[in-house]
Structure 1
Amino acid sequence: MLGGNNIEIHETAFVTSTFRATDVKLSRDHFAYLWNNPKTEKWVEEYLTKVSSEESFTHCLRNRYFLEKINEHVSENRIEVLINFGAGFSMYPFLLDQNITHIEIDKPEIVEYKKMKIEQWQKEALLPKRNIHFVGVDFSKEYKEGLLATINSVKGIKKCFILIEGVLFFLDREETDGLFQLFNLVQDTGDIIGSASFQDEIKESLVFKKLMSFFGDNISKASASEYQTIPNEYYRNIENYSLIDHQDYFSLSKTYYHKIELEKELILNENFYMLQKVGS
């Protein structure tokens, strides 16, 4: 799956998992290491050198934040189903209560590979059994009606948490609007969305210019205008939802006692949002 020298956008799922595995104490993801491979490790080493040496910690903190937020809602009996859009190789099913139902949505090649590897690791007793429904979706085609029917067939009337991390950066605003409209159809009052994205001003930073240079050398899609940033106002104005929490890399570093080593200009500061459905 990682055959060539360059990396495809969908293969960034390997990179994210490798980042999460670098500091398990911080990420609390003690299964991420399973996805490590020589090509990705070489990529990560080059990325940390050329873009930002702090990047692995941003992914660890993102995982930690959403893991703890989901766990809070699970412990308060407010989540029965976790729906992960763009699930990649995240390992939330094995880090959460075994009674949670999981719907993992991503490109067909990602979910097929993930399903195969998870079944292999379960046979080898490296992973416990979990209730996971893998859904492959070609987002370049009309998918919403079929996906909604699939989700509803699994979810029923159960309370759910929708997670979308590491995805919106690669979409445009119309696609993003369409996703949140779909979430509104899936969820009931009280249900939660967790989302991660970058704010507009990041495109003016030195580290973003380094990222675009790195992407230009390794990924065909490398123009800054092709990557989406989202202002806070967008989340405040999503119909039928209320913004209940907003964090970023710097606030989470304080919460989880992570010492930041670089200047702010050299860090890709990701923002994290929690939305609760308040209407229909």
Structure 2
Amino acid sequence: MSDRPDWEIEGRDWPNRATSRFITVDDLRWHVQVSGTGPVVLLLHGAGAATHSWRGVMPLLAEQFTVVAPDLPGHGFTAMPSGHSLSLPAMARRTASLMAALELRPALVVGHSAGAAIALQMALDGRSAGAAIVAINGALQPFAGAVAPLFQGLAMGLFVNPLAVRMFAAAARDRSRVARMIRGTGSSIDETGIDLYARLLRKPGHVAGTLGMMGSWDLRALRRSLPQLKAGLTLVVGDRDTAVPPSVATEVRLSLAAARIVTLPGLGHLAHEERPDLVSAVISDVAHAAPATGAPA
């Protein structure tokens, strides 16, 4: 049995499966979903998730836009990069290479949680051609002070320990644990969503991708660079988010006078899964206000 999620097993009834394709870019085989026509909106999920995270948002946006949603490296049905390179700059570079291979240029990049950090890194590195950014409960705050290297070291230590990764995956066989973990983010999602997260978290390869990303990232450099951001930034905040406190968006807003905050009352960290209609409406409004682009690169 493979450590990675299998498309014919875990992906047998994957949300929006008809829009899925597999493409190899450089040395990495990606799973990506593409749907709709019009300006391009790129959706980047958070740590531990995959394209299923956008299952409700994608069909709504596809009525007006070309929507591109990949599984990030090491997550879901996208392979682990060679050398296990999961740093933030590497993830941003690979995501930009994927879009180039698809010959699509985003008008808007939407990132949830850790996906928001990738969106910002792409913009700061000049890899997203000035596309506007929507950060949904963006994980943009590094752990403070002395605990930062401790947290990173713990995550990386778990990542390189196959036994620890398998123990994490084995724990996810208890669906109630996965449900409690999701509730712990301040969100209440449907039973299908819980089942899909459990399906992925039972695979050691997916868990390794999540831990490897957490252990490789240092958000302090990203935060120091934020005042240089030229792209428009909208910070969407669920006021019940317990994973990324709403205060993080407020702190980011202090670094960027042009950024704006949109608060969604009663929603948690997985706001886009709880109310895809509300989040899609915000994304649509920002996309329509962005410069007309997103045609083939």
Q: Shared topology, TM-score over 0.5?
A: no
Normalized per residue, the structure richer in helix is 1
What is the TM-score when the length of structure 1 is the normalising length? 0.36
TM-score (norm 2): 0.34
Between 1 and 2, higher relative CO (CA 8 Å, sep ≥ 6) is seen in: 2
